[in-house]
Structure 1
Amino acid sequence: MQLNFKKLGSGKPLIILHGLFGSADNWFSISKELKDNFTLYLVDQRNHGDSPQSDEWNYDVMVEDLKELMDHEGLKKAFLMGHSMGGKTAMNFALKYPEKVEKLIVADIAPRYYAVHHQSILEGLNSLDLTEIQSRKDADDELAKYIPEIGVRQFLLKSLGRDSDGFVWKINLPVITENINEVGTALPDGKSFTGPTLFLAGSNSSYVQQSDLDDIDKFFPNNEVEFIADAGHWLHAEQPDAVVEEIRRFLK
Structure 2
Amino acid sequence: MTIWTDLLGAEVRFHNAGGWRTRAIQAGNEGPAIILMHGVSGHADGFCKNVMPLANAGFRIYAIDAIGHGLSDKPEDVVYECPLYVEHLKRFMDANNIDKAFFVGQSLGGWTAMSFAHQYPDRVLGIVSLTGAGLRLSDPESEAIVQKVVQGVADVTKKATDAPTRESVRKRLEWLMADNNDVTDELVEVRYRYFTSEEGLRIMPKIARETIGEGNNRWMLTEDILKSLQTKILFLWTDQNPSMPAHIAEKASKIVPHGEYTVVEPAGHWAHFEQPEKVNKILIEWFKNV
Tell me the TM-score normalised to structure 2 length: 0.72
Tell me what 1:60 maps to. 83
Tell me what 2:191 maps to. 159
Tell me what 2:150 maps to. 115
The alignment covers a number of residue pairs equal to 237
1:237 Cα deviation from its structure 2 partner: 1.3
Q: What amino acid does structure 1 have at the position aligned with 2:166?
A: D
Q: 2: distance between equivalents of 1:202 and 1:247?
A: 14
Change (3 A) 1:186 1:216: farther
Tell me what 2:92 maps to. 69
| Alignment pair present for 1:24 and 2:44 | yes
Tell me what 1:40 maps to. 61
Q: 1: distance between equivalents of 2:167 and 2:261?
A: 39
Answer yes or no: is the 8 Å Cα contact 1:23–1:49 preserved in 2.
yes
208, 213, 216: which one pairs with 2:250? 213
SS at match of 1:127: coil
Q: What amino acid does structure 2 have at the position aligned with 1:52?
A: D
Q: 1: distance between equivalents of 2:266 and 2:173?
A: 21
Q: 2: distance between equivalents of 1:142 and 1:233?
A: 18
Structure 1 segment 216-231 matched on structure 2, within 5 A: 216-218=253-255, 220-231=256-267
| Alignment pair present for 1:248 and 2:284 | yes
Tell me what 1:140 maps to. 166
Q: What amino acid does structure 2 have at the position aligned with 1:6?
A: I
| Alignment pair present for 1:89 and 2:115 | no
Answer yes or no: is the 8 Å Cα contact 1:105–1:200 preserved in 2.
yes
1:75 Cα deviation from its structure 2 partner: 1.1
Answer yes or no: is the 8 Å Cα contact 2:23–2:65 preserved in 1.
yes
Aligned Cα root-mean-square deviation (Å): 2.7
Tell me what 1:8 maps to. 27
Tell me the TM-score normalised to structure 1 length: 0.82
Q: 2: distance between equivalents of 1:19 and 1:156?
A: 16
> Is there any run of 5+ residues in structure 1 with no aligned partner, and where?
129-138
SS at match of 2:126: strand
SS at match of 1:81: strand
Identity %: 25
Tell me what 1:133 maps to. none
**Structure 1 runs of 4+ off > 6 angstroms?**
none
Change (3 A) 1:97 1:147: closer
SS at match of 2:51: helix
Change (3 A) 1:187 1:156: farther
* Cα deviations by residue, 1:200-230 (Å, 9 ceiling, x for unpaired): 0011225243244333333x22011000021
The structure whose residues are more often helix, as a share, is 2
Q: 2: distance between equivalents of 1:99 and 1:240?
A: 30
Q: 2: distance between equivalents of 1:98 and 1:148?
A: 33
Change (3 A) 1:205 1:29: same
